[in-house]
Amino acid sequence: MNNPPTNHDDLDLGQAQAYALDAESMDQLVDSYCSSLVQSLTEFESLADAFELEAWQRSLHALKGFIGLMAGADLQQLVGDAERLSRQGDGAQLQVAIQRLEPRLRGLLERLDRHRGRYH
């Protein structure tokens, strides 16, 4: 798999820090976020074989619901664009969007794992 582009800062903990009251709460929030992100990536893998727009729409809508907590604006925009394409039924453009989005999500997860490793 291609490595995510390095010219984007996809990790933004500002919003999460506003929710967390202390370091322990922040740790729990990061852990929960990572679990949700792993679940989304797992769904992406299973959806890739049978490209069903309704399933993609549900998965992307769920991702859009939590991605902003720790993702930068560019990554949030990519998720929103992909979700919009799924609602519009544009399968060809959605596949292109997913190919751009997935490595960025994996890169975000890697950055969060490194962040967690520093504090656990």
pLDDT at 110 over 60: yes
pLDDT tens digit string along 81-100?
A: 999 999 999 889 999 999 99
Q: Please report the domains of the chain, with CATH numbers, ordered by start residue.
A: 14-115 (1.20.120)
pLDDT at 78 over 50: yes
pLDDT of residue 51 exceeding 50, the answer is: yes
Res. 2 pLDDT band, cuts 50 70 90: very low
- Angle between helix 53-67 and helix 91-119 axes, rounded to 10 deg: 40
Residues 94 and 82: beta-carbon distance below 8 Å = yes
Does position 30 have pLDDT exceeding 80, yes or no?
A: yes
Rounded to whole angstroms, what are the CA distances from 66 to 36, 96, 109? Answer: 8, 22, 14
pLDDT at 12 over 50: yes
Lowest mean pLDDT among 35-39, 49-53, 109-113: 49-53
Number of residues written out for the chain: 120
- Report which secondary-structure segment, H or E, holds 13: none
Q: Rounded CA gap, 68 and 51, in Å?
A: 25
